Amino acid sequence: MEPNFAALRKEFPVLERKTYLNSGSYCALANDVKASIEAYMDDRLAIGANWDVWVTKNESVRELTAKLLRATPDEIAVTASVSAGLNSLASALDFSGPRNKVVSSDFEFPTNAQIWYAQESRGAKVVRVPRDASGYIPAESFAAAIDENTQLVAITHVCFRNGAKLEIPEIVRLARANGAKVLLDCYQAVGSIDIDVKKLDVDFAVGGMLKYLLGTAGIGFMYVRDSFTKSLVPTNSGWFAQADIPAMDITGNHPHPSARRFEAGTPAVVNCYASEAGLKFLLDVGTPAIEKRNFALTRRCMEQLVDIGWPSITPTQDARRGATVAIPSRDSAGLSRELIKRDIVTSYRDNNLRASFHFYNNEADIESFVGAMKDLRSEFAPR
Ligand SMILES: Cc1ncc(COP(=O)(O)O)c(C=O)c1O
């Protein structure tokens, strides 16, 4: 049975005041998430330092993330950010031999490019696969870059600039055929579409809690395929990455046998409270139903934009799209400001306005957004 999306919408009070199309930047706040943060505050006032409970929250986030991605808890590191996870992983990779190539793409979020370029001082060679004339990067374009020297294919699932989704299964097949590993930056996808890391057959996946996972900033995750974990020893480490944390050993480095070895310091406790509540909410709704709804909402929005003569640049095929619709503008920042005046919250990157949808959006949101875009067309659409 389809979830009752109208009832679920009421759990996000900001939606009563705003047309909120900004989940690709930061989600709307759910009542449950707010209550969870308040429970942490109450705890601090009543008890002070409630560490016994606090550490269980970090473990709960790990378990819920594993459930979401169809992985096991031992395959999940709870990190401070995508950047923290990537740096820890990069520190465990050896680029000194012939297999020193990292293949990335024009669609990457900066951190999933910069961190690999930073490894060039350790021998890595970064190759960026370009977009084609249509603005997309088909899987065939990766074929020219992935070869027997490729150690890692580090790619985004959905591009933060234009909402395009890469053809992950085909790219993974190319990587496998050349003995390369695949890292998926699924931050712009996770929670908005259904993700099964085992079915996708990726080796690593990174993301965070503040967008479609309904949580907050300052906490993320990294999935690491179990069979690789023990062969990877991060030099970017910390006491929460150790096999025996309470031992407080200062005589050596003993990484945890699980993906916890990619963690570092004290967990961000309040962020765990928020993220636990967000993940529970999302899992209760169910990612297959959320994916279906987001495809329907984005499709509808794109059709209506065509009707007003201001089409988006996001691919129309479901297989090539996430939950963001990107619309070109000659002043995307100015357009976003004009929309804010009308209580419509979006974001912008480059020359594109981004309207990102989640299951709590509805037809009325599309109508007010497209209606406002129609009014602003002559001033902001490309000439
Ligand atoms: C695809 C993608 N990757 C990574 C990030 C940023 O990751 P972090 O700030 O957690 O390092 C973002 C943030 O917007 C993103 O959209």
Per-residue pLDDT tens over the stretch 80-114: 999 999 999 999 999 999 999 999 999 999 999 99
**Shared domain check, 271 and 182:** yes
Out of 22, 78, 83, 109, mutate this one to test ligand 1's pocket (max ligand atoms within 8 Å of CB): namely 109
**Shared domain check, 301 and 277:** no
For ligand 1, say whether the CB of 24 is within 6 Å of any of its atoms.
no
**Shared domain check, 250 and 114:** yes
CA neighbor of 258 nearest in space, from 112, 57, 59: 59
For ligand 1, say whether the CB of 108 is within 6 Å of any of its atoms.
no
Among 283, 314, 346, where does a domain finish? 283
The domain in which residue 367 lies consists of: 5-29+286-380
The Å distance, Cα 109 to ligand 1 centre, comes to 6
Out of 88, 106, 108, 111, mutate this one to test ligand 1's pocket (max ligand atoms within 8 Å of CB): namely 111
**Atom of ligand 1 lying closest to residue 208 CA:** 10
What CA–CA distance (Å, rounded) separates 156 from 224?
16
Residue 41 burial (CB count, 10 A)? 11
**pLDDT > 70: percent of the chain:** 100
Question: What integer is the mean pLDDT of 249-262?
Answer: 97
pTM as predicted: 0.97
Q: For residue 74, give the 3-state DSSP assignment.
A: helix
* DSSP string for residues in 99-123: --EEEEETT--THHHHHHHHGGGGT
**Shared domain check, 269 and 159:** yes
The Å distance, Cα 115 to ligand 1 centre, comes to 12
Among 283, 301, 324, where does a domain finish? 283
**Shared domain check, 84 and 23:** no
CA neighbor of 356 nearest in space, from 302, 320, 275: 302
**Atom of ligand 1 lying closest to residue 25 CA:** 14
| Count: domains in the chain | 2
**Shared domain check, 205 and 354:** no
What CA–CA distance (Å, rounded) separates 43 from 311?
50
**Shared domain check, 325 and 180:** no
Among 237, 268, 283, where does a domain finish? 283
Per-residue pLDDT tens over the stretch 318-343: 999 999 999 999 999 999 999 999 99
**Shared domain check, 324 and 189:** no
Per-residue pLDDT tens over the stretch 337-382: 999 999 999 999 989 999 999 999 999 999 999 999 999 999 999 9
For ligand 1, say whether the CB of 109 is within 6 Å of any of its atoms.
yes
For ligand 1, say whether the CB of 220 is within 6 Å of any of its atoms.
yes
For ligand 1, say whether the CB of 167 is within 6 Å of any of its atoms.
no
What 8-state DSSP symbol labels residue 349?
E
**Shared domain check, 352 and 340:** yes
The Å distance, Cα 272 to ligand 1 centre, comes to 18
Tell me the pLDDT band of 1, cut-offs 50, 70 and 90: confident
**Shared domain check, 11 and 120:** no
